Amino acid sequence: MAADRTHRIDTLDIIWRYLLILLNLQQVVDSLWCFCDPCHDTISNSSCLAKEGSKCFAAIIAKVENDLPIEVWSYGCLPPESTVLQCQGDLVPHSTPQTIACCDWEDHCNRDLRPTFIERSTTPIPGHRTSTHFDTTSKIVLCVSLLFVILTIIGMTLAYQRYCRGGPMRPQYIDEEDQIHPYNTGECIKDLINHSSGSGSGLPLLVQRTIAKQIYLIKSIGKGKYAEVWKGKWRGENVAVKIFLTTEEDSWFRETELYQTVLLRHDNILGFLAADIKGTQLFLITDYHDNGSLYDYLHSHTLNAVDMLRLAHSAISGIAFLHAEIFGAKGKPALAHRDIKSTNILVKKNGTCCIADLGLCVKYISETNEVEIACNSRTGTKRYMSPEVLDDTINRNHFESFKQSDVYSFSLVLWEIARRCVHKGIVEEAQLPYYDYASNDPSFEEMRKVVCVEKKRPLVPNRWSSDPYLSKMAKVMSECWLHQPAARLTALRVKKTLGKIKLDMELTIKQ
């Protein structure tokens, strides 16, 4: 409260100072500057400032010196009490004849006055204004304009100060998950996105800033090496808030850049809502999915063949979409994920998957045949790295190399999914790939030895061969984790194969 009171006092002080300046300006605007010669109370060079109600004058005094008549000219500012008397033609007693002419239509108007002894005319010389009405109106307009400009500056200053004080707020938390956010105005996030460009770049940027400042964080739902994910609420709807570590600004920037500049609106790509920086926190706000990651889902659920193929087909559909280049006004470049793993794949309510965490994506620009690699310190997950990445033989100038590496990583995800499929009452427990060959946090050398030197792959249980769908899954994954990158299936080929298996199964069930 004390800070707010001080802020209000500062604001009133600023306004008062501006008003004083305006009053001074008003005085200067309303004053009349006259040419003076000789000058007695000179304010500036050969000029005097007439008082309110005064006029400028030019006068001639007739004198006789050495028996010769001479004229003495003088210019200056008349005192207010002398203006009416002298300038209306009433002679003031003088010991010598004199004549005078007055004016007030503009500054230094008396410089060109030519009074004569024949008549005292206050008629301005041709080309000058005869009325002061326009001068008064002009002064009023000028003062109003100055007042408007000053008030505008004050308003902008106050708005900027308020933004600087209130902008980078700390996260806000609520305890009850079902509490409705006070900003719930009836328009949901889906409607806002549908009303935007539809390019998949989330909400309009101004709305993104609004969302980031209005979100309430509920609870932490995951924490990794590079970021922490929170469940939040905005307008009564659940959202996921990924808060990056301050050292991972490059990853946040890369993911934000991709979402905001590339068409990524797809059922199997995590929906992007907004991105913002609050203080030192880097926020990425996306759709929220109750089931969490595929890794968590597989640890808490067993699958039947339908579930297994739904998860696998939807996940590869998202990867195939990333890999594909779309031409046209709203097209997209080809992208490679580079960090495919079960924790970077989320499970939606309908049992399908969507791909998340695009911070390591590689972009292919076909017009220049350029591979744009993200500049950040992240290197991916060692357990899921392909042989060519582990032994550093991958061709970084060839975009297909990164796509082939993604396919290898996905084959390990397929293995994780298939293990949880129940067949004849038997199912394996959820495990990470190479759990029986490597430690919990393997090093590069450890994984390179297992994958590249010993050329081991995850064990395929014998029971899979007796199930028509598990056996087909085993065949697909074995063709995706081949040691030679060029021999692996493409993401599109895997998508079509799994799609055909899924369709055959659905037809069989209907029959």
Amino acid at 270: L
Give the E-state strand segments of 321-387 in sequence order. 334-336, 345-347, 353-355, 362-365, 370-373
Q: Which run of H or of E encompasses 231?
A: strand 227-234
Using a 10 angstrom Cβ sphere, with 0-12 exposed, 13-18 middle and 19 or more buried, the burial of residue 278 is middle
The two most distant CA atoms of the chain are separated, in Å, by: 144
Contact 34, 50 (CB under 8 A): yes
Q: Burial, 198: exposed, middle or buried (Cβ in 10 Å; 0-12, 13-18, 19+)?
A: exposed
The residue whose two tokens read 């427990």 is 429
Cα–Cα distance for residue pair 98/77, rounded to 1 Å: 17
Tokens of 142: 């000028």
d(CA 497, CA 5): 69
The pair of structure tokens assigned to 499 is 């799609």
- CB contact at 8 A, 229 and 221: yes
**Which residues partner with 58 through β-bridges?**
75, 101
SS3 416: helix
Task: Write the CA distances from 234 to 8, 58, 140, 259, 498, integer angstroms.
Answer: 31, 77, 50, 20, 37
Tokens 């009836």 belong to: 186
Residue 39: phi and psi, rounded to 5, are -105, 130
The distance from CA 6 to its chain's CA centroid, rounded to whole angstroms, is 31
Element (H, E) at 453: none
Q: Say which residue the tokens 């204004």 belong to.
A: 129
Residue 504 annotated to the active site: no
The active-site residue out of 104, 276, 339, 357 is: 339
**Which one, of 361, 274, 364, 356, lies nearest residue 318 by Cα?**
356
Q: What is the 3-state secondary structure (H, E, C) of 152-212?
A: HHHHHHHHHHHHHHHCCCCCEECCCCCCCCCCCCCCCHHHHHHHCCCCCCCCCHHHHHHHH
Residues annotated as catalytic are 339
